[in-house]
């Protein structure tokens, strides 16, 4: 993880050599020409360029910033003022940064700063903005440069920094922010004027800068004392600065952040938020890094920024609350940037995935460009596209989730999200928490971010995101866990609790959260949340303030540690973080009850009728792999399942009829379960309902349906969906509505399949608009997809998104993302449809699982799925239980959605890999599909 960053930083570190070329670069010259101010420190900029390969135009941010031009010059002065006089602290901080936590590092940090500044110039807005905020003295110097760049690219960029530093009035800030956003969108200028060099470089530059920053920060982080000092010195704004500098925060993000701040109107809150932001930042940073790596820089930055911005707000309290976590490595002291740096290492693992997401973002960016829409106001739901799903292994979902949550978290939304997400989620939420969800969340966020970029979309997205964010069950789906946590924390109830730092409170909170939200929070006392005992850790999620864990090291601050441990654990057991529940599906096979526990349970006393049994907990039947005694698993007894899995599945799978038969059996089981579990499983079932709802929506095509519901459902859809699905089917009681839907889906999954697609389209648009979750879903898709797929998808997505944008821009984007992620190029074929299809596909797939959905999917979207070529053995990671499933792991990627549905859910998996649906459900599925894909691959490897 770290290595890449380091390398980058090093590369950047050798600025001298690089700088000249950079300056000479056409982009640079172009910028100079544009900017009234001459870049004094072009060298810095230069450094960044050389290393960076010009990213494809696609990646170039589509952002268009009308504001940028206007504010550019003005900002600069402001910026300078702010940076210099406005905030002494910032300067100090900047010095600190430059100095680095450790003296030896200082030079390096300075270099980095220089590089950063350079990159800024290249990057223009993002960097500039970030810079000013981040570092003081050095920053100032660079600021001039950056400002220049900004001027060239966009004036606005500077302002943001200023705002941060100066704490400029909200109004002014907002204006600045907007301008920044515009500039960011920008790359705009370059894009319009010159596509290739500048744009391409810009992203890289940003990324590099961010990396450098991160590295520098990391070094800082290494030295907690210093970080603390910085922190103390730093004001919330300062923090912002760091973040920005490090991340090259997007304008939009800043905007949100500022707005949030304004809304809060309290720095105290700010600080709190700040605390939160660390995690979120970390995640964002990670994301950013990924992007950077991929060249998605600008986009990623936005996302990151968004994430960061949001994160702080949401999490502030939580972090403070959790002393151990924060204290862990003295991270508290660390400035955001530092935190970011910390987060970096983990990103490395995720980077590939992130790249995909970045591509998505790129596509989104392209979309934006086309849209040329002004920046959306604050749509919380910026395009999350950037968010790549947490790759299975290295990544900690949290980072992503956080980012997503952050992104999502438009300030206003928070509470709503909590309630929305949490309560509604509660039933379904459980699944959400799972790591895999994190991906989805990210995606959502990314989607939201994309929306952001597009004004129209942004507006819609913003509304949807904010309002819907709560709905955004999708988050729940994968990233939801995290979000939920956040949301929970935000929830009025949790909110107060969060403030309460007492471990007891936390514990209670956690318990409550679990109950209410269905999401679990760990309560680790001895393992430091660094063992699989910890649900959070096992799920690839960082512990949240809501967790009642003690001496928690599963925090962004300790990403390195977390990653190391993860790697160790994986080295021992490559599947340790893989989804426990996998659907066995041979390529052609569809086993109705394919979903199983990977390892199988070993129950001796619980008869597999209690949650002690992981199979039962996952709503999955026991299989031959189980060593349970006296298995009475409602979802399937040991013997039953076994037969089905390998062989039976195939036999039964081929035809829908077969699946139907199984489904019947499965339904029976479900009913059994339902009867037994109804009381307990209500939560679990709820998740199912969402999926069902989604389907229902699909079927009904009732766009009018409350998207929120879907969104809610969707989140579950991925992992939980299956289980929930089963449950729902099994227990009509729970979800009379859902059950019906579920039943329908289960029974007529195949039918739905094609139908779903269309419906999905329609629904998608609706969903996306209404529910941020939907957005998230699509994003999730991105992450999972392989780079190639994502790449292609990205381009296609952009196109598709455009088309979609006509209908519902927001939706489209997410969907596009999903497509990308899903690698379901097929979808792309129809620009508009793609997204819906994706969603539809996913939903489809989910449904298909029961019946021969494979056929449907294959038929309809077969190519895409095939293209993904991921033979999906579909390991559905879905954690039926409220517990978070360990989603994130790259390996796990595929699994999420499988939700333990035995019945032909396998289909779902196959489908899933292809695309993340736009709809929340779909999105979750998409993420799950991705995971499934990975899982399948792994499974194949294993078989081999």
Partner DNA sequence: GAGTTTGAAACT
Partner DNA sequence: CAGTTTCAAACTC
Return residues touching DNA (CB under 7 A).
Answer: 508, 514, 520-528, 531-535, 538, 569, 572-573, 576, 580, 599, 601-607, 610-614, 617, 628, 680, 881-883
Angstrom distance (rounded) from CA 321 to CA 81: 36
Residue with tokens 């990210």: 442
Signed CA dihedral, 650, 655, 656, 659: sign only: negative
Provide, rounded to whole angstroms, the least separation between the CB of residue 859 and DNA: 37
Please provide the size of the chain in residues.
944
Provide, rounded to whole angstroms, the least separation between the CB of residue 86 and DNA: 45
Provide, rounded to whole angstroms, the least separation between the CB of residue 879 and DNA: 10
**Nearer Cβ to DNA (26/630):** 630
Provide, rounded to whole angstroms, the least separation between the CB of residue 40 and DNA: 53
Provide, rounded to whole angstroms, the least separation between the CB of residue 329 and DNA: 19
Angstrom distance (rounded) from CA 126 to CA 531: 38
Angstrom distance (rounded) from CA 671 to CA 669: 5
Calculate the dihedral angle through the C-alpha atoms of 745, 746, 747, 751, rounding to the nearest 10 degrees. 50
Provide, rounded to whole angstroms, the least separation between the CB of residue 480 and DNA: 17
Contact 478/438 with Cβ under 8 angstroms? yes
Provide, rounded to whole angstroms, the least separation between the CB of residue 558 and DNA: 15
DSSP 630: S
**End-to-end distance of the chain based on CA atoms, in angstroms?**
29
**Nearer Cβ to DNA (602/704):** 602
Provide, rounded to whole angstroms, the least separation between the CB of residue 505 and DNA: 9
**Nearer Cβ to DNA (288/626):** 626
899 is written with which tokens? Answer: 């939700």
Backbone angles phi, psi at 699, to 5 degrees: -60, -55
Provide, rounded to whole angstroms, the least separation between the CB of residue 575 and DNA: 10
**Nearer Cβ to DNA (529/825):** 529
Provide, rounded to whole angstroms, the least separation between the CB of residue 610 and DNA: 4
Number of H helices, E strands in the chain: 48, 2
Q: How far, CA to CA in Å, does 930 sit from each of 15, 823, 828?
A: 39, 9, 17
Q: How far, CA to CA in Å, does 123 sit from each of 115, 153, 205, 607?
A: 11, 8, 6, 60
604 is written with which tokens? Answer: 């001796």
**Nearer Cβ to DNA (482/521):** 521
Angstrom distance (rounded) from CA 380 to CA 372: 19
Provide, rounded to whole angstroms, the least separation between the CB of residue 567 and DNA: 12
**Nearer Cβ to DNA (184/552):** 552
**Nearer Cβ to DNA (350/536):** 536
Provide, rounded to whole angstroms, the least separation between the CB of residue 406 and DNA: 24
**Nearer Cβ to DNA (580/730):** 580
Residue with tokens 């690219």: 153
Angstrom distance (rounded) from CA 610 to CA 516: 19
Provide, rounded to whole angstroms, the least separation between the CB of residue 523 and DNA: 3
Angstrom distance (rounded) from CA 111 to CA 314: 33
**Nearer Cβ to DNA (102/533):** 533
From the CB of residue 17, how many other CB atoms can be counted at a distance below 10 Å?
13
Nearest C-alpha neighbor of 185 from the set 370, 2, 14, 44: 370
Question: Can you state the angle between helices 397-408 and 297-321, rounded to 10 degrees?
Answer: 100
Angstrom distance (rounded) from CA 718 to CA 422: 17
**Nearer Cβ to DNA (325/810):** 325
Nearest C-alpha neighbor of 820 from the set 795, 863, 790, 841: 790
Angstrom distance (rounded) from CA 598 to CA 578: 9
DSSP-based three-state secondary structure for 902: strand
Angstrom distance (rounded) from CA 108 to CA 104: 8
Contact 62/455 with Cβ under 8 angstroms? no
Provide, rounded to whole angstroms, the least separation between the CB of residue 552 and DNA: 9
**Nearer Cβ to DNA (205/536):** 536
Residue with tokens 């529910």: 771
Provide, rounded to whole angstroms, the least separation between the CB of residue 596 and DNA: 13
**Nearer Cβ to DNA (262/531):** 531
DSSP 896: G
Helix (H) or strand (E) holding 596: strand 595-597
Residue with tokens 């200023």: 162
DSSP-based three-state secondary structure for 588: coil
Burial class (CB within 10 angstroms; exposed 0-12, middle 13-18, buried 19+) of 38: exposed
Query: Which residues, in sequence order, are bridge partners of residue 446?
Result: 384
**Nearer Cβ to DNA (551/651):** 551
Contact 779/915 with Cβ under 8 angstroms? no
**Nearer Cβ to DNA (352/550):** 550
**Nearer Cβ to DNA (159/438):** 438
Provide, rounded to whole angstroms, the least separation between the CB of residue 511 and DNA: 7
**Nearer Cβ to DNA (858/881):** 881
Helix (H) or strand (E) holding 17: helix 15-24
**Nearer Cβ to DNA (75/638):** 638
Query: Residues with Cβ < 8 Å from 883, sequence gap 6 or more?
Result: 430, 433, 434, 520, 535, 539, 617
Provide, rounded to whole angstroms, the least separation between the CB of residue 881 and DNA: 6
Provide, rounded to whole angstroms, the least separation between the CB of residue 852 and DNA: 32
Angstrom distance (rounded) from CA 386 to CA 379: 15
**Nearer Cβ to DNA (575/856):** 575
Contact 341/329 with Cβ under 8 angstroms? no
């Amino acid at each position: 993880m770290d290595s890449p960053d380091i390398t980058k930083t090093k590369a950047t570190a050798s600025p001298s050599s690089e700088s000249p070329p950079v300056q000479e670069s056409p982009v640079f010259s172009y910028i100079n020409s544009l900017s009234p101010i001459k870049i004094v420190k072009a060298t810095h900029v230069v450094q960044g360029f050389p290393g960076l390969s010009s990213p494809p135009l696609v990646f170039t941010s589509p952002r268009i910033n009308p504001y940028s031009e206007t504010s550019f010059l003005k900002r600069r002065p402001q910026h300078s003022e702010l940076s210099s006089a406005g905030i002494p602290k910032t300067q100090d901080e900047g010095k600190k940064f430059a100095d680095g936590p450790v003296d030896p590092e200082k030079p390096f940090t300075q270099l980095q700063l220089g590089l950063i500044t350079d990159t800024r110039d290249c990057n223009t807005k993002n960097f500039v903005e970030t810079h000013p905020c981040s570092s003081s003295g050095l920053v100032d110097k660079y600021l001039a440069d950056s400002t220049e760049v900004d001027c060239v690219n966009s004036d606005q960029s500077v302002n943001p920094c200023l705002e941060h530093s100066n704490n400029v009035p909200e109004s002014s800030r907002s204006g600045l922010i907007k301008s920044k956003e515009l500039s960011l969108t920008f790359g705009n200028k370059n894009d319009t004027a010159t596509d290739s060099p500048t744009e391409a470089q810009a992203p890289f530059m940003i990324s590099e800068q961010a990396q450098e920053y991160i590295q520098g920060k990391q070094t800082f982080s290494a030295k907690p004392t210093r970080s603390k000092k910085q922190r103390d010195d730093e004001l919330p704004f300062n923090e912002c600065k760091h973040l920005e500098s490090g991340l090259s925060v997007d304008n939009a993000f800043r905007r949100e952040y500022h707005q949030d701040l304004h809304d809060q109107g309290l720095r105290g809150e700010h600080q709190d938020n700040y605390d939160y932001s660390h995690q979120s930042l970390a995640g964002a940073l990670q994301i950013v890094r990924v992007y950077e790596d991929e060249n998605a820089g600008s986009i990623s930055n936005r996302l990151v920024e968004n994430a960061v911005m949001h994160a702080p707000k949401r999490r502030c309290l939580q972090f403070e609350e959790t002393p151990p976590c924060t204290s862990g490595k003295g991270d508290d002291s660390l400035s955001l940037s530092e935190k970011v740096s910390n987060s970096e290492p983990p990103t490395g693992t995720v980077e590939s995935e992130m790249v995909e997401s970045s591509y998505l973002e790129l596509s989104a960016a392209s979309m934006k460009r086309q849209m040329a829409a002004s920046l959306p106001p604050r749509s919380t739901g910026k395009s999350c596209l950037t968010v790549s799903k947490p790759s299975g292994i290295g990544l900690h979902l949290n980072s992503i989730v956080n980012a997503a949550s952050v992104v999502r978290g438009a300030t206003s939304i928070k509470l709503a999200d909590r309630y929305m997400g949490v309560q509604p989620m509660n039933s379904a939420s459980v699944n959400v928490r799972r790591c895999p969800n994190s991906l989805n969340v990210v995606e959502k966020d990314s989607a939201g971010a994309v929306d952001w970029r597009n004004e129209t979309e942004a507006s819609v997205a913003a509304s949807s995101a904010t309002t819907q964010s709560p709905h955004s069950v999708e988050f729940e789906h994968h990233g939801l866990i995290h979000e939920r946590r956040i949301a929970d924390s935000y929830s009025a109830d949790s909110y107060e609790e969060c403030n309460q730092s007492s471990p007891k409170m936390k514990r209670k909170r956690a318990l409550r959260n679990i109950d209410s939200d269905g999401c679990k929070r760990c309560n680790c006392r001895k393992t430091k949340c660094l063992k699989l005992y910890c649900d959070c850790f096992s799920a690839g999620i960082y512990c949240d303030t809501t967790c009642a864990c003690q001496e928690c090291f599963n925090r962004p601050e300790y990403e390195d540690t977390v990653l190391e441990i993860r790697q160790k654990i994986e080295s021992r057991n490559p599947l340790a973080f893989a989804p426990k529940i996998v659907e066995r599906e041979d390529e052609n096979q569809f086993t109705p009850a394919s979903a199983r526990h990977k390892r199988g349970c070993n129950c001796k006393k619980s008869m597999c009728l209690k949650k002690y049994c992981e199979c039962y907990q996952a709503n999955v039947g026991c299989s031959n792999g189980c060593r349970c005694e006296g298995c009475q698993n409602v979802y399937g007894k040991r013997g039953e399942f076994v037969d089905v899995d390998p062989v039976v599945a195939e036999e039964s799978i081929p035809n829908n009829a077969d699946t139907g038969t199984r489904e019947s059996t499965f339904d029976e089981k479900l009913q059994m379960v339902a009867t037994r579990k109804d009381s307990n499983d209500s939560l679990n079932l709820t998740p199912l309902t969402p999926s069902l709802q989604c389907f229902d929506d699909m079927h009904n095509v009732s766009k009018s349906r409350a998207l929120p519901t879907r969104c809610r459902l969707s989140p579950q859809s991925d992992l939980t969906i299956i289980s929930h699905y089963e449950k729902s089917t099994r227990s009509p009681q729970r979800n009379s509505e859902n059950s019906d839907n579920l039943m329908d889906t289960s029974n007529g999954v195949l039918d739905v399949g094609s139908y779903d697609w269309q419906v999905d389209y329609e629904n998608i648009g609706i969903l996306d608009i209404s529910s941020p979750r939907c957005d998230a879903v699509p994003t999730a898709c991105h992450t999972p997809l392989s780079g190639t797929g994502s790449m292609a998808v990205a381009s296609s997505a952009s196109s598709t998104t455009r088309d979609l944008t006509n209908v519902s821009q927001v939706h489209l984007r997410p969907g596009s993302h999903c497509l990308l992620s899903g690698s379901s190029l097929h979808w792309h074929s129809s620009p508009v449809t793609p997204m819906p299809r994706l969603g539809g596909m996913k939903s489809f797939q989910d449904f298909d699982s029961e019946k021969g959905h494979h056929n449907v999917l294959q038929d309809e979207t077969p190519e895409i799925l095939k293209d993904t070529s991921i033979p999906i053995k579909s390991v559905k990671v879905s954690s039926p239980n409220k517990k978070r499933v360990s989603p994130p792991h790259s390996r796990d990627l595929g699994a999420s959605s499988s939700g333990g549905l035995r019945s032909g859910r396998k289909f779902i998996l196959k489908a899933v890999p292809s695309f993340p649906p736009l709809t929340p459900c779909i999105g979750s599925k998409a993420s799950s599909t991705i995971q499934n894909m990975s899982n399948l691959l792994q499974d194949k490897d294993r078989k081999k």
